[in-house]
A and B are shown apart, each in its own frame.
Chain A
Amino acid sequence: MELVRNWFNKLSLDRIQLELMNTAYGSGHASLSRLDPRGLLIWYLFFAIMPWFVNSLLVLAGMCLFMVVTTILSRVTPFIIFVLCLGLIGQVGWLFVISLFFGGDISSALPLLKLTLKLSVVSLASITVFSGMDPEKISDGLLALGVPAAFSFSLSYGYRILPVLFEEFRNVLLSYRLRGKAPEHPGLLYWRKGAYYLKLLVYAFFPLMLATAKRSRTTVEALETRGFSYGLKNPAAKKLKLSHLRFQTRDVLFLSGSAAYVAVLFWFG
């Protein structure tokens, strides 16, 4: 009850906007983000696939430790770590509790611990790479590795359009609130108020859809006048766009260091 009230007090559109902007635009200063994105993406690919084929507790724990260190190096906001921990504990913890009901005992905990370790290695690797890195760099790296150019365009577009979209959504929502009437009593567990806001949130998308349709038409027209779809398919344009990427000594050091560490882990495991 108290929790719900606290949550509603904290919930203001300004605050959400600030929080989102902070998460979305606040990255790119970490030490890992200076590495070459192609190397980092390959590094990530290894740590996202490998844990599923490993069953040794020692190797998994060592990998997890390594991931914790790189995550700290990439200076992720605590909010994301919190969400991750909550998700992991929630998912695996409930599995354990329910398996007790079906005749399991404490011995079911060990396999589930391994599962948790695997999941944490995979998610920490993705956090290290994708939230520490500048989105422009991610999209360049993906483009260099052969992901369709539409993806990297959408990523850049998303970062540019978000503040505009958010402002517009806010205006629509505020005008709905001005004309509407909020429920007088919040109801049990604030359900009346919650339902009211959720309903507004859904209704607000009606005008927003029309406005965004207009905007996307303008965007595409502006893109086409500059030869966007021609450049997208042109290998010369892609080469020019990616010419700033190059492997440096620190990239080689980072990749070989990781490889050596993993090799040592397997030696002991």
Chain B
Amino acid sequence: MSRKSLYTLTSSQKMMIFVLSMSLYGLSNMFTELIPSLQLGPIELSVEYFAFIPLTLCMLFHPFYAAVGAALGEVIFGELMLGQFGGLGELEKFLTFSFAMYVAGRIVRNPQNRTQVGIAVMTGVIIHQLCSSLVDIGKVWIGVEEFEAVPGLAESVVLVEGVSFLNDVLFSGILFALLPTLYLVPRLYGKIEPLLGIKPREKSTRYEAAGVVSPKLVLTGTLLALVAFGAESLSETDWNFGEWDSGFAEQLGDGAIWLSIGAAAVVAIIVLLAMRAKKARAAAQAGDTGGVPHA
């Protein structure tokens, strides 16, 4: 019973889903980067993204590989190739986007049920936009010293982010996620899967979720929450690095300089250690190369 309904894929099939999702969403991202937005004051009507592509693929295939592939496609085609790569900032986008798409894909049990598909699409879009709005607010929070002291700043940040959240959910979300997905999923169902040598999903299909994703997902979630909490409590206690830094400069004179150089050295050492650990682990794993090869 459980053997029959478990949705297992070979590593090549996982790779196919990954490549398919990456190239399609990446291509669409190049277009959406070029479509101009209609700016009405602070309110911006823009085609944020063609979310229907990863959403459709997540519903038809294994959502994890489709979601990660799409997020990576955005980073590569939409950012790196157009020369707009934001470095570390992309990490946050990558995580929130792949998480939201994965959740949307998991909600759907039967791809031919339109209500389910519609609910899943809106949930995915809302999760993604909510996460990215919160991160944006947090950026201003951390970036501006004495955030509370500047009158009107807190309200204006929330207002700007709230408006852009509503725009993205209502405009992009309905026009470029909900409607196209409702059009595409029933049409592609049963047609696109055989091209990759995969059986179409059925109501009874279950994913091999526990082994593949959950620990990683929980870990990242907790880590992100901790970082967010840490940043917030830091700003609550008025103990930010800037004051600390200048205090040092008064007390120790040149101490502040060595502090900064020390920070650089710490970053370098951490990177070097990470490389070492990686190398050691790779050497340890050299014996059993027969495991899951990629993605």
Residue positions of A touching B, CB distance < 8 A: 7, 16, 20, 23-24, 27, 42, 44-46, 48-50, 52-56, 76-77, 80, 83, 94-95, 97-105, 107-108, 111-112, 114-115, 118-119, 122-123, 125-127, 129-131, 135, 138, 144-146, 149-151, 154-155, 157-159, 161-162, 165-166, 169, 198, 201-202, 205-206, 208-210, 212-217, 219-221, 223-224, 229-230, 232-235, 238, 259, 262-263, 266-267, 269
User: Which of chain B's residues 180-225 have a Cβ closer than 8 Å to chain A?
Assistant: 180, 184, 187-188, 191-192, 195-197
A-B contact count (CB 8 A): 268
Q: Contact check: which of A24, A102, A146 meets B151 at CB < 8 Å?
A: A102
- Name the interface size band of chain B: 35 or more
Partner of B159, one of A98, A158, A216: A98
A158 and B260 in contact, given A210-B195, A220-B16, A224-B12 (Cβ under 8 angstroms): no
Interface flags for B125-142 (1: CB within 8 Å of A; 0: not) read 000000000000000101
Do B245 and A27 touch (CB < 8 A)? no
Query: Bound complex: CA of A104 vs CA of B146, how far in Å?
Result: 14
A130, B184: Cβ atoms closer than 8 Å: no
Specify which chain B residues have a CB less than 8 angstroms from the CB of A48 in the assembled complex: 87-88
Q: Is the CB of B157 within 8 A of A95?
A: yes
A229 to B15, Cβ gap below 8 A? yes
CA distance A205 to B180 in the complex (A): 10
Chain B residues within 8 Å of A154, by CB: 19, 22, 72-73, 76
Q: Is the interface of B mostly helix, strand, loop or mixed?
A: helix
For residue B252, which residues in chain A have a CB less than 8 angstroms away from its CB?
none
In this assembly, does B156 line the interface, its C-beta being within 8 Å of a C-beta of chain A? Answer: yes
Residue pair A111, B260 in contact (C-beta under 8 Å) = no
Digitize B12-56: 1 where CB-to-A-CB distance is under 8 Å, 0 elsewhere.
100110111011101110110011100000100001001011001
With A56-B242, A95-B140 in contact, is A50–B152 under 8 Å at CB? Answer: no
Which partner residue on chain A sits nearest B259 by CB separation? Answer: A266
Closest chain-B Cβ to A171's Cβ sits at a distance in Å of 13
Among B86, B245, B267, the residue within 8 A (CB) of A46 is B267
